[in-house]
Chains A and B, each alone.
Chain A
Amino acid sequence: MNAIILSALWGVVMMYTGVVTRNTRNHGVMAIIGIILLTIAAWLEFVGVQFFSINLSGMMSFAPYSLVFMMVMFVCTLLYFILSGPDMKDVGDQVSDYYALIFFVLTGVSIVAAFKTLLMLFIGIEIMTIPLYILAASDKRNLKSNEAGLKYFLMGTFSTGLMLMGIALLYGAHGTFFTDGINLGMAAVSPLTTAGLVLLMISMAFKVSAAPFHFWTPDVYDGTPTVFTSFMATIVKAAAFFAFLRLFENAFGKMHVQWQLLIAIITAATLLIGNITAVFQQSVKRMLAYSSIAQAGFMMLALFALNSTGKQGLILYAAAYSLATIGIFAVLVRMKDYTFEGFNGLSKHEPFLSVMLTVFLLSLAGIPLTAGFFAKYYMLVAALKNGNMFWLVIVAVLCAAVSIYYYFKVIQSMFFKEGANTGMRTGGVFKATLLVAAILVIALGIHPDWLLNLLTY
């Protein structure tokens, strides 16, 4: 609860910061203070300190699992603020408002991490996405950004409509919004329940950009100003996944066998489409958009398996994926040329950045000694433990092999090809933060239990 209230409050504080000072540096500092406070607040709640005693009537629960997820997301946001915050002023003048919107998104993230009823899920998803519509269109003079905002808005509202319909049907069938209540009533499956479940599945698949509901993703990610794509593709996506998993575990866990095949098909389609399309991209930004679809396919395995390994793995996956992607985007924002050729010869001028990028790319590709390996490891073990549909594991593994191709294309450009790349402006703080992110990636790649032990705290 601490995090939800504090993030909403800090969003308001950020808006007033914009009134008090026009200096974007100060806005950045305030935002970093805010996110640190938010992390501490979540940590305090984790160890049992509650700032507010509000009667939630069981509509949200703050189990360690939810709180660890929140903390992971807040730490990733902190790194994101330090790395990419200074670049926000290139998008437009209202930097403090951008920060405010991001804090509101975090409110939504915290709600979907903790919901126990479909109502809270709905509210959380809405709070999370509405500020994003604005951020997607924030580069007002750029047509592509406008298009991205509109597209995202249309797709978002459409899927929200489906979600509401699904919730209504489930309420009709079970007479309750509580996920546990719905799960209890699963004994008698009615057509209403099935229809509601499918509608919810489709709407959530839209939110996490799982195939065949992924079409909006590349255009929206590409059109959105790169600083905000970074946030959308990582924290928001991970949170939507977390909501997806919690919803299906809590509300439909008993029907797992019935919907498993459907999820398996969505997973396989997401993996194949994401990976294969990513191979053909010319722009690194679009490649990362497809790679985010591909990684979503891997995260879907946790949903497919729905066991404790998958649940733990999802947190690790969210952390590994977010850290690496934020790092890559932070460098990408400062590149003049977003194509693969733009990276040619980067290691000559920026050896440090190239090495950091390599660590992140290796992590996304799932090479051992990086967090990405254990993330994929957990997903595969979860799917194997599940026991049936072994073909899905093989599809996942082959897709992981395909992903090597496009991740390594960046590495090849940076290290092995000659190019006219003249480097970029970077500061000491930027480099130090990248280093911290890379060290986190490697540390989680050697000792994932440092994070996962928190779950059994």
Chain B
Amino acid sequence: MLSAFDNFPALLIWLPLIGGIVTFMLKQGERAKAWSMLSSILTLVVAGTSLLFTGSEHFALTQVSYVWLPLLGSSFTLSLDGISWILCLLNAISFPLIFAASSRGSYRRPNVFYGLMLIAQAGLMGVFMALDALTIYFFWELALIQVYFLASMWGGEKRIQAAFKFFIYTFVGSLLLLVGILYVYLKTPDQSFALASFYRAELTVGEQGWLFWMFFIAFAIKMPVFPFHTWQPDAYEQSATPVTMVLSGIMVKMGVFALMRWLLPVFPDVIADYDNIIIGFSVIGVVYASLMAMRQDDLKRLVAYSSIAHIGLMCAAIFSLQQDAWHGALVQMFSHGINIIGMWIVIELIERQLGVRKISELGGIAQKAPTLTIFLVIIALANVALPLTNAFVGEFLMFSGLFKFNSWYAAVAGIGIILSAVYTLNMIKHVFYGNTNILTETMRDIGKDQRIVLSVIVVLIFMVGIYPEPMFRLVENTSDIILNRIQTK
């Protein structure tokens, strides 16, 4: 078992997990903060180092497999390939940013807060790397439970109900997923939970049909795709901002990722029957969420709805089964995570200083906090996918894929993108420009540490936006293999 500690996937799980448990034990808040920061940076270093070993000659360094439950045909299998790499990287980058951004905030019982955060990170890493259905289910729930506690303990007044709604929603999805997993498991030739066996499961088209929906609903709730999104604005609004960052930046990617690895390749025969329904709902969701975002007065709810729109587009792009769209969706998953965390950081800075996040009560912040405004404008423009920013690359490819699939869908989704520019610019206008009022008069510009955090985000935005080549090289191989498997079956 010790041998399982010395390669990348194992380290990426054990570092945050052990870091989190240690953080729990620390009584002093400052020490817990420092330790969690250290732990998350170590994880980032490991994730960064692992990028040097992407070649196939380093295969052994990216695989973990040890016997877990031979009785049940399950083994603890983790692997880093293209699509898990990009998400693990996002996960590893996000947490130090989140911790740094929230270092000024004070949380009751900081050791519990940071401990739960780190364990959630471990769970997310596990979801992105697991190649065994039971293992992924365990990590899926591990992350969920931590986030449930995080969202219920810290946040707004109605957080308990909001977090509970979120939990019940996703848990119903998880249970359906579990039944689906068990059904496929019983149909695998060798009674095994391994992903490879799942690909070989002997399922009739009829069985695939309803299993497909059981899996899809679980993932759709997580993403969330219209019409399963109703938990999301409440949960984002009521949770403490660092928790919202985890939820929106990383956790929603679990669902998108699972579509690629656990849904489409396992039930390839029925995709053609349902792709129009799902793309249709996703595209409706894009427009609907954008329209909703226009009407929001609360900054958090605005970003929450804009996130539904982005995720809807990813879901549609993935179901188009076009090579470009998949590459685009994978890069966009990374970019969206970075951008939305940037948005939350800015909102958090405003809220911490002024105590409000109502658009109607703000105004003229640019006069008082010019640096913050510059950062915000860059991040917001990245969010609406302006060329040269990271989101442009992904959204462009997703649109071109969707267009190849059916130009009408692309056209309708395009409306959503136009609307996103409308509400984003509108928000900038009302919050940052115009005249100051009594409240925003007191606004001060951001400190050095926040400048560093936001600079990192802006650098990432332009790096991926101007030179996305390394990102594509990372994902395209794995993505093409999976897509090929779906299409040739």
Judge: A and B partners, yes or no: yes
Binding site for B on A (CB under 8 A): 362, 367-369, 377, 380-381, 384-385, 393-394, 397-398, 400-401, 404-405, 408, 412, 415-417, 447-449, 452-453
Would you call B175 an interface residue if the criterion is a C-beta within 8 Å of the partner chain's C-beta atoms?
A: yes
Residues of B within 8 A of A362 (CB): 145
Would you call B164 an interface residue if the criterion is a C-beta within 8 Å of the partner chain's C-beta atoms?
A: yes
Q: Which of chain B's residues 135-190 have a Cβ closer than 8 Å to chain A?
A: 137-138, 141-142, 145, 149, 152-153, 159-160, 164, 167-168, 171-172, 175-176, 178-179, 182-183, 185-186
Residues of B within 8 A of A384 (CB): 179, 182-183, 186
Residue interface mask B54-87, A partner, CB < 8 A = 1: 0000000000000001111000000000000000
Q: Can you sample 27 A-B contacts with CB below 8 Å?
A: A362-B145, A367-B141, A367-B145, A368-B137, A368-B138, A368-B141, A369-B142, A377-B178, A380-B178, A384-B179, A384-B182, A384-B183, A384-B186, A393-B179, A394-B179, A397-B179, A400-B175, A401-B168, A401-B171, A404-B168, A404-B171, A408-B167, A412-B160, A415-B152, A415-B153, A416-B153, A448-B69
B146, chain A: closest CB distance, angstroms? 11
Residues of A within 8 A of B145 (CB): 362, 367
If the complex has contacts A384-B183, A449-B69, A452-B71, are A397 and B175 also in contact, measured as CB distance less than 8 A?
yes
9 closest pairs, A vs B, by CB?
Answer: A368-B141, A397-B175, A368-B138, A401-B172, A449-B71, A416-B152, A416-B160, A397-B179, A381-B182
Bound complex: CA A212 to CA B379 (Å): 61
Q: Which of B70, B141, B149 has the most CB of A within 10 A?
A: B141
Residues of B within 8 A of A381 (CB): 182, 185-186
B69 touches A415 (CB 8 A): no
Residues of A within 8 A of B171 (CB): 401, 404
In the complex, which of the residues A385, A394, A412 contacts B164, with contact meaning CB atoms closer than 8 Å?
A412
Residues of B within 8 A of A401 (CB): 168, 171-172, 175
B320, chain A: closest CB distance, angstroms? 31
A447 touches B69 (CB 8 A): yes
Residues of B within 8 A of A385 (CB): 186
Residues of B within 8 A of A453 (CB): 71
B392, chain A: closest CB distance, angstroms? 39
B148's closest neighbor in chain A, by CB? A408
A404 touches B179 (CB 8 A): no
In the complex, which of the residues B141, B152, B178, B183 contacts A412, with contact meaning CB atoms closer than 8 Å?
B152
In the complex, which of the residues B142, B168, B172, B182 contacts A368, with contact meaning CB atoms closer than 8 Å?
B142
Q: Which of A362, A397, A405 has the most CB of B within 10 A?
A: A397
Q: Which of chain B's residues 268-293 have a Cβ closer than 8 Å to chain A?
A: none
Q: Which of chain B's residues 91-148 have a Cβ closer than 8 Å to chain A?
A: 137-138, 141-142, 145
B296, chain A: closest CB distance, angstroms? 26
Residues of A within 8 A of B175 (CB): 397-398, 400-401
Interface size for B (C-beta < 8 A) is: 27
Residues of B within 8 A of A377 (CB): 178, 182
B207, chain A: closest CB distance, angstroms? 10
Bound complex: CA A400 to CA B186 (Å): 21
B280, chain A: closest CB distance, angstroms? 26
B185's closest neighbor in chain A, by CB? A381
B187's closest neighbor in chain A, by CB? A384
Bound complex: CA A54 to CA B72 (Å): 39
Residues of A within 8 A of B179 (CB): 380, 384, 393-394, 397
B182 touches A415 (CB 8 A): no
In the complex, which of the residues A380, A397, A405 contacts B168, with contact meaning CB atoms closer than 8 Å?
A405
Residues of B within 8 A of A367 (CB): 141, 145
Bound complex: CA A415 to CA B112 (Å): 12
Residues of B within 8 A of A400 (CB): 175
Bound complex: CA A368 to CA B136 (Å): 11
Residues of A within 8 A of B152 (CB): 412, 415-416
Residues of A within 8 A of B70 (CB): 449
Q: Which of B70, B160, B171 has the most CB of A within 10 A?
A: B171
Bound complex: CA A404 to CA B72 (Å): 26
Bound complex: CA A387 to CA B284 (Å): 38
Residues of B within 8 A of A405 (CB): 168
B253, chain A: closest CB distance, angstroms? 20
B164 touches A408 (CB 8 A): yes
Residues of A within 8 A of B168 (CB): 401, 404-405
Residues of B within 8 A of A417 (CB): 160
A412, chain B: closest CB distance, angstroms? 6
B90, chain A: closest CB distance, angstroms? 24
Residues of B within 8 A of A368 (CB): 137-138, 141-142
Residues of B within 8 A of A397 (CB): 175-176, 178-179
A453's closest neighbor in chain B, by CB? B71
Residues of B within 8 A of A408 (CB): 164, 167
B377, chain A: closest CB distance, angstroms? 38
Residues of A within 8 A of B142 (CB): 368-369
Bound complex: CA A448 to CA B137 (Å): 16
B25, chain A: closest CB distance, angstroms? 13
Residues of A within 8 A of B185 (CB): 381
Known pairs A377-B182, A417-B160; list 7 more (Cβ under 8 Å): A362-B145, A381-B182, A404-B167, A405-B168, A415-B152, A415-B153, A449-B69
B316, chain A: closest CB distance, angstroms? 28
Bound complex: CA A412 to CA B153 (Å): 9
Bound complex: CA A453 to CA B71 (Å): 9
B169's closest neighbor in chain A, by CB? A401
Residues of B within 8 A of A447 (CB): 69
Residues of A within 8 A of B176 (CB): 397
A359, chain B: closest CB distance, angstroms? 11
Bound complex: CA A287 to CA B67 (Å): 39
Residues of B within 8 A of A415 (CB): 149, 152-153
A374, chain B: closest CB distance, angstroms? 9
A294, chain B: closest CB distance, angstroms? 15
Bound complex: CA A417 to CA B172 (Å): 25
A405's closest neighbor in chain B, by CB? B168
In the complex, which of the residues A369, A393, A394, A398 contacts B141, with contact meaning CB atoms closer than 8 Å?
A369
A369 touches B69 (CB 8 A): no
Bound complex: CA A417 to CA B159 (Å): 11
Residues of A within 8 A of B69 (CB): 447-449
A393's closest neighbor in chain B, by CB? B179
Bound complex: CA A449 to CA B171 (Å): 26
Bound complex: CA A369 to CA B71 (Å): 17
Residues of A within 8 A of B71 (CB): 449, 452-453
B154's closest neighbor in chain A, by CB? A416
A409's closest neighbor in chain B, by CB? B164
A456's closest neighbor in chain B, by CB? B71
B138 touches A369 (CB 8 A): yes
Residues of B within 8 A of A416 (CB): 152-153, 159-160
Bound complex: CA A311 to CA B158 (Å): 44
Bound complex: CA A393 to CA B142 (Å): 24
Bound complex: CA A456 to CA B144 (Å): 35
B168's closest neighbor in chain A, by CB? A404
Bound complex: CA A447 to CA B141 (Å): 17
Bound complex: CA A252 to CA B70 (Å): 32
B69's closest neighbor in chain A, by CB? A449
Residues of A within 8 A of B137 (CB): 368
Residues of B within 8 A of A412 (CB): 152, 160, 164
Bound complex: CA A384 to CA B175 (Å): 14
Residues of A within 8 A of B178 (CB): 377, 380, 397
Bound complex: CA A192 to CA B69 (Å): 46
Residues of B within 8 A of A380 (CB): 178-179, 182
Bound complex: CA A416 to CA B145 (Å): 15
Q: Which of chain B's residues 169-222 have a Cβ closer than 8 Å to chain A?
A: 171-172, 175-176, 178-179, 182-183, 185-186
A126, chain B: closest CB distance, angstroms? 37
A376's closest neighbor in chain B, by CB? B178
A21, chain B: closest CB distance, angstroms? 43
Residues of B within 8 A of A452 (CB): 71
Bound complex: CA A416 to CA B150 (Å): 10
Bound complex: CA A405 to CA B169 (Å): 11
Residues of A within 8 A of B172 (CB): 398, 401
A397's closest neighbor in chain B, by CB? B175
B104, chain A: closest CB distance, angstroms? 24
